[in-house]
A and B are shown apart, each in its own frame.
Chain A
Amino acid sequence: MDKTVNQKAWFLVLPVFLVVAFSAILPLMTVVNYSMQDTFGNNQFFWNGVGWFKELLDPSTDLGGRFLASLGRNLFFSAVILAIEVPLGIVIALSMPREGWSVAACLVILALPLLIPWNVVGTIWQIFGRPDIGLLGYVLNSIGINYNYVSNDIDAWVTVIVMDVWHWTSLVALLCYAGLKSIPDAYYQAAQIDGASRWAVFKAIQLPKMHRVLLIAVLLRFMDSFMIYTEPFVVTGGGPGNSTTFISIELVKIALGQFDLGKAAALSLVYNLIILIVCWVFYTVMTNAGAERPAKEGVA
C-alpha cells in the first residue's frame, strides 16, 4: 500500500470523531448506566446489578420470553427478505436496458421507493392492502382469497414481507447494476467467441464482478431489516397480537411505552452487541475480499 504514516491525520478525523462520539458514546453510557438499575418513577433509581441481563437471557421470564420471541421473528424476517431480495435484485439488474432514455427512466423509478419516508411506505401499504379501500386487498378478496392483514397472522406477515421487497429490492438491484456496469465489453465479446452459454457468462463474468457489491447489499439489507421499526409499526402496529413485533418494536414498547428503563437498556445493549458482531464478521470478510483483488480491478 502507498499510504504514508502520519499521526497528524488525526486532526482531520477529529471533527468526525467528536460529532459521532457525541451522538454515540454519551447516549451509550446512559444506556449502560440504566441497564444496571431499576426505577420506580420520580427519578428514583435502585441498583440492580446484572439482574436485567439475567432476566433477559432466561426465556422462562416475561422479559426473556419476549426478547427471544421477537429475536426469532426478526431473524426469520431477515432470512426471508434476503432470500427474496438478493436473487430478485440480481435478476432486475441483469434486466436493465443497455442504453437510451429507458435507462434513466428505469433508474428513477427504481430509486423512487428508497426516497419515500418510512412511515409513508407504511401508510402506502396500509391503504393498498385494506380490504375495503385498498386495491390489493379488494382484488384479493373479490377473487375469493380471504385476505385481511389486521386480523390474520399470516396475511400480516405476507404484507410486511411484500412491503419490504417493494421498498428495498431496488437497493440491491442498483448496487448490482453498478457492479455490472464496471464490466468491460471485451469480456462479453470474448465469451461470445468462446461460445459461452448465458449461464456460463453469468457464472464466470457477471457474478464475480458483483461479488463485492453483493456483500455490501447483503450487509445493508441484513442490518436494516434487523432494526426495522417504522414500516411494520405503521401497517400492523406489531400485531395481530404480537405476531409481527420485531425487536425494535418490542424495545420501544418497553422503553417509551412502559418506561421500564432498566429492562429497555439491557435489551438495547444485547441488541447492539448482536449487531456489532455481525457487522464485524461482514467487515472482515469485506476487507479480505478487497485485499485479494488488485485495486484497479475492483472499482465497485
Chain B
Amino acid sequence: MHSIPGRRVVMALFLIFLLLPIYWLVNMSFKTNTEIVSTMTLWPHTPTLQHYKRIFIDESWYSGYIHSLEYVVINTIISISVALPAAYAFSRYRFLGDKHLFFWLLSNRMAPAAVYALPFFNLYSAIGLFDTPWAVALAHCIFNVPLAVWILEGFVSGVPREIDETAFLDGYSFPRFFIKILVPLIASGIGVAAFFCFMFSWVELLLARTLTSVDAKPIAAVMTRTVSAAGMDWGLLSAAGVLTIIPGALVIWFVRNYIARGFALGRV
C-alpha cells in the first residue's frame, strides 16, 4: 500500500506523548532536591547520582526490588507450570463442564483486586504465609493463571493433532510426549505467556502491599516512604521509579520480535 505522509507524523506525535513523562522522571532523578524545588530546568544543571547511590546502599531500598522480583518469578513459574497441562486439555478434549470452567477462569482475570484484598489478608495470615513472597505469588495466580491458560491454549491449538497421534503410536508415554515434544514446539508461546505473567505480577500493587509488611515488602510499597515530615523527597522517588521501569524495558527488548505475534496467537 502507498504510504501516507500523515502516518509518520501521527506515530511520532504519539511516541513523544508516551516518552515525555518518562523523560521528565529521568530528568528529576538526576537533579538535587534543591534544584527540583527552586528552578524549572529541562536538564539537570548540577547532575547528581546521590539518589541512586542511596537506593543501592540502603538495604530497606534495594531489598524492595529483590522482594518484588522474588514473587514475580515464583508466580510466573507456578502459573506456567499449572497452565500448560490445562491449556492442552482445553485445546484437545471435551469434558464435563469445560466451557463453564473456562468462563469461570476468565471471570477471575477480571475480578477487582480490591474485592480480594481483605479476604486474602485473612486467608494468608491464617495459613502462616503472610509477609512472604509466596503469599503474593499465590495471590497473583488468581489473574495470571487464567491469562496463561488463555494464551497457551491458543499456541497448543496451533500444533497439529497428528503430532500427538504419531508420538503416541511411537510409544511415547503422556508425560514424556509432553516434555520432549509439545513443550519445545510451543516454546515461543511459553515465552509470551511468561512475559504476560511477569508483566501483570510486576505492575500490581494493591495485593502485593496488603499481603506484606516487613520481610517481603515490594518496591512499590517502599516507595511510599519518601513522604516525610520534611516534605516529599522527589529526587529519590523519581530515581526509584526509574529503576522500576528498567526490568520491564529489558523484558520487552528480549521479546520485541514476538510482541505482535504473541498478541495475535495468544489472542490477548
Residues of A within 8 A of B (CB): 1-10, 12-13, 15-17, 19-20, 22-24, 26-28, 30-31, 88, 91-92, 94-98, 104, 106-120, 123-125, 127-128, 132-136, 138, 166, 169-170, 174-175, 177-179, 181-182, 188, 192, 198, 201, 212-213, 216, 220, 223, 226-227, 229-230, 247-249, 251-252, 255-256, 261, 264, 268, 271-272, 275-276, 279-280, 283, 299-300
Contact = CB atoms under 8 A, between A and B. Distances in A.
Contacts of A135: 20, 24
A119 B93 contact: no
Given A20-B142, A230-B205, A115 B248 contact: yes
A30 B123 contact: yes
Nearest to B263: A178
Given A97-B11, A108-B253, A127-B28, 20 more contacts: A4-B92, A4-B94, A6-B94, A7-B95, A7-B96, A13-B89, A23-B116, A27-B116, A30-B123, A95-B8, A107-B256, A109-B19, A110-B15, A112-B18, A117-B220, A169-B14, A175-B268, A213-B264, A229-B114, A300-B264
A2 B93 CA distance: 9
Interface in B89-106: 89-90, 92-96, 98, 101, 103, 105-106
Nearest to B119: A27
B14 A174 contact: no
Given A138-B40, A252-B114, A272-B115, A23 B138 contact: yes
A272 B263 CA distance: 27
A117 B107 contact: no
A247 B111 CA distance: 13
B244 interface: yes
B199 interface: yes
B241 A134 contact: no
Given A9-B89, A166-B18, A24 B111 contact: yes
Interface stretch (B48-56, B79-87, B183-191): B79-87
Interface in B224-238: 224, 234, 237-238
Most chain B CB inside 10 Å of its own CB: which residue of A111, A125, A213: A111
A94 B7 contact: yes
**From DSSP, what is the main secondary structure of chain A's interface residues?**
helix
Contact of B203 (A117, A179, A251, A261): A117
Contacts of B220: 117, 119-120
A229 B204 CA distance: 10
Contacts of B105: 16, 20
Interface residues of B, number: 97
Q: Which 10 A-B pairs have the closest CB atoms?
A: A115-B248, A27-B119, A227-B112, A12-B89, A178-B263, A178-B264, A9-B93, A248-B114, A12-B85, A9-B89
A8 B161 CA distance: 18
B33 to A, nearest CB: 10
A203 to B, nearest CB: 15
Contacts of B113: 227, 229, 248
A220 B200 CA distance: 13
A248 B37 CA distance: 33
B264 A179 contact: yes
B145 A20 contact: yes
B11 A275 contact: no
Interface string B1-19: 1011001101100110111
6 contacts: A95-B14, A109-B15, A111-B252, A115-B249, A229-B206, A251-B114
A226 B98 CA distance: 28
B69 interface: no
B101 A248 contact: no
Contacts of B115: 31, 251, 268, 271-272
A32 to B, nearest CB: 10
B4 A198 contact: yes
B216 interface: no
A16 B117 contact: no
A120 to B, nearest CB: 5
Given A108-B256, A112-B245, A124-B21, A5 B94 contact: yes
A134 B11 contact: no
Nearest to B81: A15
